[in-house]
Amino acid sequence: VALERASVRGFAATAPATDDDADPGRDGEVAEFVVDPGHRGLGHGTRMLHAVADTLRSDGFSRAVCWLNADADDMRGFLTAQGWAPDGAHRELDLHGDGSVVVKQVRLHTDLTPPA
């Protein structure tokens, strides 16, 4: 959770990655990552992303993945600036199960191994 004084400015949640190609002993996932739009660009997201990496690392993961909507250019730009990159995985989520709302997503990843 990112706080400013007593106000929540963002939150993140992590979990073991569950993709078919995930290595359960190596891959952790950023399942949620949200910063209040009115408080972006103030460092909350960067600090929270560092805390997420520390949490995943302390849980024994050496790689982190995060699924993004394909059109989430701001989030992709933020993660890319922090060293994340696409790993080639794509998926489509059928939100209603009838094909009426399909969301295209791409997966980004980063290495959590501490520098030598």
Q: Kindly report, residue by residue over 70-112, the tens digit of the pLDDT.
A: 999 999 999 999 999 999 999 999 999 999 999 999 999 999 9
Q: Considering the domain boundaries, does residue 42 fall inside one?
A: yes
More confident residue, 59 or 8: 59
The CATH number linked to 27 is 3.40.630.30
Instruction: Give the mean model confidence (pLDDT) for residues 37-42.
Output: 68
Number of compact structural domains in the chain: 1
HEC assignment per residue over 61-101? CCEEEEEEECCCHHHHHHHHHCCCEEEEEEEEEECCCCCCC
CA 114 distance to own-chain centroid: 19
Confidence class of residue 116 from pLDDT cuts 50, 70 and 90?
A: confident
Q: Considering the domain boundaries, does residue 116 fall inside one?
A: no
Whole-angstrom distance, CA of residue 112 vs CA of residue 116: 12
Kindly report the pTM of this predicted structure.
0.86
The pLDDT value given to residue 112: 97
Its domain, for residue 22, covers 2-111
